[in-house]
Amino acid sequence: MASPLLTVDHLTFGFHDRQLYSDLSFNLARGSMTSLIGANGVGKTTLIRLLMGQLTPQSGHITHAPDMRLGYVPQFRNIDPEYPLSLRSFIQLNQRGHWFPWHTQAEKQQLDAVIRKTALTARQGQLLGKASGGEKQKAYLAQALLTEPNFLILDEATASLDVNTKTELMTLVRQLSQQFGLTVLFVTHDLELAREYTDQYLLLTATGHELRSTQLMEPANMPAELRPAEEVR
């Protein structure tokens, strides 16, 4: 079997008096799609920051394949409505291969391709500040894809999107995974989406973690905070 893209081995980490993980181990196979789920504050974003090398494990190891290229799609944030860049120019900010202020023909073609893939061609001239939540989220995804990652981390990228836009975004991500072997780690509170679009889930809880196939996901056994409201009532 091919070696995993990422391996987390006996990871321990916490802030001050608050321990988040005491013995976290898992690996992500190349081309796999994994949901990272757990209640608010359990440590999902912190784990991502560890995986991205922004934080250092207190003990244990995080190892990635030498050819790993990371793309990161942050959670949708409020952008100033006066933000002056168009969607196209915003996406292009991630294209910095050289010192010149202009872009080569090849770069323009690459940018066009990413804009097409994320279905933003008709909207590329729209000001980012005035764009809809779905358009903004797609622009973030396009920005991440511009560097041709083989590992894509999405932190609650679908949280504020309507059902159609969520489906569109996840369908595209899955397609990239199937076509190009993109490995995906998808932070979500949406169990349905996790079940539908990812192969396995990593559940973090205050007392431990589990990594299982989404086919074995039993909503009734999931933490109450993650279940749809009507089931909890």
Ligand X SMILES: Nc1ncnc2c1ncn2[C@@H]1O[C@H](COP(=O)(O)OP(=O)(O)OP(=O)(O)O)[C@@H](O)[C@H]1O
If binding is defined by CB under 6 A, does position 46 make contact with ligand X?
yes
If binding is defined by CB under 6 A, does position 208 make contact with ligand X?
no
Q: Which residues of 199-214 are buried (b: 16+ CB within 10 A; e: fewer)?
A: ebbbbbbeeebeeeeb
User: DSSP strand E in 16-89: where?
Assistant: 18-28, 33-37, 59-64, 70-73
Q: Judged by CB, which is closer to ligand X: 131, or 226?
A: 226
**Which one of Mg ion, ligand X, none interacts with residue 180, CB within 5 to 8 A by kind?**
none
**Which one of ligand X, Mg ion, none interacts with residue 42, CB within 5 to 8 A by kind?**
ligand X
If binding is defined by CB under 5 A, does position 160 make contact with Mg ion?
no
Residue 70, both tokens: 């990371």
- The site that binds ligand X (CB under 6 A) totals a number of residues, namely 10
Residue 33, both tokens: 């799609």
Residue 90 is inside which H or E element, if any? helix 87-92
Least Å from the CB of residue 204 to ligand X: 7
**Which one of ligand X, Mg ion, none interacts with residue 38, CB within 5 to 8 A by kind?**
ligand X
Q: Judged by CB, which is closer to ligand X: 41, or 228?
A: 41
* Contact string (CB under 5 A) for Mg ion, positions 29-58, x = contact: ---------------xx-------------
If phi over 0 gives left and psi between -120 and 50 gives alpha, with beta otherwise, what is residue 18? beta
Task: Give 169: exposed, middle or buried? Use CB within 10 Å, 0-12, 13-18, 19+.
Answer: buried
**Which one of ligand X, Mg ion, none interacts with residue 43, CB within 5 to 8 A by kind?**
ligand X
Question: Residues interacting with ligand X, by CB under 6 A?
Answer: 15, 20, 38, 40-46
